[in-house]
A and B are shown apart, each in its own frame.
Chain A
Amino acid sequence: MNRVTGSIDAERSRAELAELLKRVGARDSAALRDVYDRTSAKLYGICLRVLGSESEAQDVLQEVYVSIWNKAAQFDTSKASAITWLAVIARNKAIDAARARRLPAEGVEAASEVPDDSPSALDVLEVAEDNARLADCLSELEERARAMIRRAFFEGMTYPELAAQEGVPLPTMKSWIRRGLLRLRGCMER
C-alpha cells in the first residue's frame, strides 16, 4: 500500500492502477497482465504470509487474479485505493484456503460461504487516515487483544480455534477481541 502517498510518483502509479483495473473490468487481458506485473509480488507476499507454503500460495495467487479478472468492474475508486482493494482480496482468498486446509470437514460448507459470492463482499472502504492511525491505535490495545486480532487477520483463525489454542473459554476470547475491536474503532474514528 502506498506509504508515500505524498509523492507524485505514488499518486501517479495509484491512478494508473485504478485505470488499469477499469480496463480489466472491460475484459482487457493485456491490462490484467499489466496489473499482474505491478501487483503480483505484493499479493504473492500476502498469500505466502498467510499460507506459509509456496505451492499453496501460488495456487491461491492464481485464484486471486482470476477473481480480479471477474470482479474488477466492481472496484470503486472512491472507496479504496486499487492496491488496498487487491490486497484485501488476496488476504481473504488466502485465508479461505488456509481455513479449508485446517477444517476439511467444514470445507464444503465454508466454500459456500466464500466471501466473494456476494458483491458486497468485495466492498472495501478506506479513509485516508487509516494507514497512519492503525498502528498507533493497535499499540493502545492490551497485548493479548492485539495479538489475537493479528492472528485472526493473518491466519484466519476463528474464535473457537483461538480459544482452544490459548486455552481460555470461548466467551473469554470473544470478550477480549470484541473489546479490542471496539477500542480500535473508537481510536481510529477519533
Chain B
Amino acid sequence: MTDDSDSNDRNALAGEFALGLLTGNALREAEALAANDPAFAREVARWRGRSAPLLDEVEPVDPPESAWDGIKAKINHAPTSNVIQLRRRVGFWRGATAGMTALAATLALVLVMRPQPTVSVAPAPAVASAAPMVAMLGDQEGMKVVASWDPGSRQLVLAVPADIPADPSHSHELWVIPAGGKPQSLGTMPSGRQMHMRLADALATLLQQGATIAISVEPMGGSPTGAPTGPVVASGALSRA
C-alpha cells in the first residue's frame, strides 16, 4: 500500500516535471532525481513521449526566410563545443562532488586573480554550507560562464566559453551579491577559459545558496569605486550542485 502510493507519487512527480508544472523545492527535487535516478529519468522521458501527441494538433506554419539566416549565422561561429563541454562539466560537478578537486587539478590553466584587498563585511548569518554549489551565469542569449564553488576548500572555479569578447580597454570584474546585500568584488577576470581561485574567509561566507554571481564590464583594472559601474554581462544564482 505504502509502496503503491510512493510509486504513484514518483510517477506523478515525473509527469509534473515533464510538463513543467513544478516550482521551487519540488522542481529542485525533481531535477536532482532526473539527474541521479535512472528509473525516474526514464519515467520523465515516458511522460514526454506520452504527452507529445498533443503537438499533433498544432498546424504547421512556414517561418520567414530570414529565420534560416539567423540559424546559419549562429552555427557558423558559435562556440558550441565549448558550451557542450561546459555543460558536461556541470553535469560532472553535479554528479560527483568528490570530483571537484580532481577537476581543478586537471584544469590546464591556473590563473591568478588580482590579489584581494581585505574586505570587511559583517559575518554572514548562516554558517557557510559545506555542499558544493554551481551558478550558471548567463544573459538573454544563453550561458556565458559556469561558476562552481566548493565551500570546503574555498575554491571558486570558473569555466568560460569563447564568446566573452576580449576588449583591451576594459576588464571583466566578478562580483558576489548576497541575497539582499551589496555587490562585493571577487576580482577582475584574466582572459582565459578556466580559472580557479581560493577565496578569503570574508568573501567565502558570502557565497551562500541564493547569492548571485555576476560579471560586469569595468575600466581596465577593475571598478574604481568598489561597486559595479558598467553593464552586467552575465549573472546567475548559486544553488546546490
Interface range for A: 35 or more
Contact of B63 among A58, A120, A135 (CB under 8 A): A58
Contact A108 B35 (CB under 8 A): no
Interface status of B215 (Cβ within 8 A of chain A): no
Which A residues fall within an 8 A CB radius of B? 1, 3, 29, 32-33, 36, 40-42, 44-46, 48-49, 57-58, 61-62, 65-66, 69-70, 79-80, 84, 87-88, 91-92, 95, 99, 108-109, 111-113, 117-121, 123-127, 130-131, 134-135, 149-150, 152-154, 156-160, 162, 177-178, 181-182, 184-185, 188
Contact A66 B44 (CB under 8 A): no
Stretch from B72-80, B101-109, B163-171, B190-198 contacting the other chain: B72-80
Q: Point out the residues of chain B lying under 8 angstroms from A108, CB to CB.
A: 138, 212, 235-237
Contact B61 A62 (CB under 8 A): no
* 9 A-B residue pairings within 8 Å (CB atoms): A45-B61, A49-B58, A117-B90, A118-B91, A119-B91, A120-B35, A120-B44, A130-B49, A159-B23
Which B residues fall within an 8 A CB radius of A? 8, 11-12, 15-16, 19-23, 27, 31, 34-35, 41-42, 44-46, 48-56, 58-64, 66-68, 70-72, 74-76, 78, 80, 83-84, 87, 90-91, 94, 134-136, 138, 143, 212, 235-237, 239
In the bound complex, CA of A79 to CA of B44 (Å): 13
Closest residue to A42 on the B side, CB-wise? Answer: B60
Q: A42-B60, A120-B41, A152-B21 are in contact. Are A65 and B50 (CB under 8 A)?
A: no
Contact of B45 among A79, A156, A185 (CB under 8 A): A79
Closest residue to A84 on the B side, CB-wise? Answer: B52
In the bound complex, CA of A177 to CA of B15 (Å): 10
Contact of A1 among B53, B64, B70 (CB under 8 A): B53
Chain A CB within 10 Å, residue with most, of B8, B44, B46, B143: B46
Contact A181 B16 (CB under 8 A): yes
Contact A123 B51 (CB under 8 A): no
